[in-house]
């Protein structure tokens, strides 16, 4: 709910909803006064989920307009929120990013509003070797104009020896927020089959441990956009940004930071065990 309430404060957003296929999450959000749109569990990426949400909001707007033309002012319509209609940009925020603030949301949206990119996302500097080499973090390689060239769960860009951490490299790690042009979402859905075959050639290399190959983590969805030749614009968050909570170890570190004052955000004290 912390992520949801922060998102609602972003002035650039006309509406804010939680998209999920889990009834437990839906109930928790509704119990706290938030709006939920249930999506298909078959959605494989966040942008696919966003497309389903956008299409549902369009249908909702169409129904509302039809009711108005008939002069129908039912109580059901009055009780629903303003989340309906068509939008220029959709901003998807991962639920495990409690430190994303309204200005981060506005920055991500501006990346696609003020450029020819179809997707915009934020990155943070890699904190240390563990942060960079973890398969739980997505690393980003960009060109000189801050357009993404590759997203990988491996430590990229790489120097010899392969897969090793290099303290002299300025690694960029993606933050769980991305903006996308709504008119591109339909196109994104059509990239699914073709881009997946392409992804196999450009996928993150397999990870090894004790002489055995670890099962590859999911390939970053942004590669589907990049490999198809579309622009993904990137911006860097402030150095003080606190990474999201993706693993139990992340949660333990966050709680420790709150306890020692290293993380100074009283609104997050609910995370303390």
pLDDT of residue 73: 60
Kindly tell me if the per-residue pLDDT of 63 is higher than 80. Answer: no
Q: Which residues contact 96 (CB under 8 A, 6 or more apart)?
A: 176, 244, 245, 246
Q: What is the DSSP letter of 118?
A: S
Maximum distance among all Cα pairs of the chain, rounded to whole angstroms: 70
Of the candidates 235, 16, 7, 236, the one whose C-alpha atom is nearest the C-alpha of residue 101 is 7
Q: Which residues contact 170 (CB under 8 A, 6 or more apart)?
A: 125, 126
Query: Quick one: average pLDDT of 21-25?
Result: 94
| Residue (of 19, 9, 26, 10) closest to 47 by Cα position | 19
Does the predicted model carry a pTM greater than 0.85?
no
Give the integer Cα–Cα distance in Å for 110 and 29.
Answer: 28
Residue 206: its pLDDT value, please?
52
pLDDT, tens digit, 9 for 90 and up, residues 182-212: 999 999 988 854 344 444 444 555 555 455 4
Locus of tokens 């008119």: 183
123 pairs with which residues across the strands?
A: 174, 236
pLDDT at residue 152 is higher than 80: yes
How wide is the angle at C-alpha 244 spanned by C-alphas 242 and 245, nearest 5°?
A: 130
Residue 259 confidence (pLDDT): 65
Contact by Cβ (8 Å): 177, 104: yes
How far apart, in Å, are the Cα atoms of 272 and each of 111, 112, 207, 252, 267?
34, 36, 33, 9, 11
């Amino acid at each position: 709910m912390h992520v949801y309430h922060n998102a609602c404060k972003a002035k650039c957003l006309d509406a804010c909803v939680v998209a999920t296929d889990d009834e437990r999450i839906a109930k928790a959000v509704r119990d706290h006064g938030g709006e939920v749109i249930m999506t298909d569990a078959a959605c494989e990426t966040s942008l696919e989920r966003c497309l389903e949400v956008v299409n549902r909001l369009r249908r909702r707007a169409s129904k509302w307009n039809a009711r108005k033309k008939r002069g129908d002012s039912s109580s059901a319509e009055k009780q629903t929120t303003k989340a309906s209609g068509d939008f220029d940009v959709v901003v998807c925020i991962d639920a495990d990013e409690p430190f994303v603030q309204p200005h981060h949301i506005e920055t991500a949206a501006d990346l696609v509003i003020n450029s020819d990119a179809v997707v915009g996302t934020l990155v943070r500097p890699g904190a240390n070797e563990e942060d960079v080499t973890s398969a739980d973090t997505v690393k980003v390689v960009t060109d000189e104009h801050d357009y993404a060239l590759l997203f990988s769960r491996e430590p990229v860009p790489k120097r010899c020896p392969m897969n090793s951490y290099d303290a002299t490299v300025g690694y960029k790690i993606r933050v769980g927020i991305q903006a996308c042009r709504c008119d591109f979402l339909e196109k994104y859905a059509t990239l699914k089959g073709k881009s997946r075959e392409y992804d196999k050639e450009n996928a993150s290399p397999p990870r090894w441990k004790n002489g055995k190959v670890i099962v590859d983590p999911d390939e970053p969805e942004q590669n589907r956009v990049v490999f198809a030749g579309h622009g993904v614009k990137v911006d860097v968050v402030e150095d003080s940004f606190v990474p999201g909570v993706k693993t139990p170890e992340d949660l333990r570190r966050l709680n420790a930071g709150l306890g020692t004052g290293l993380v100074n955000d009283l609104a997050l004290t609910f995370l303390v065990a």
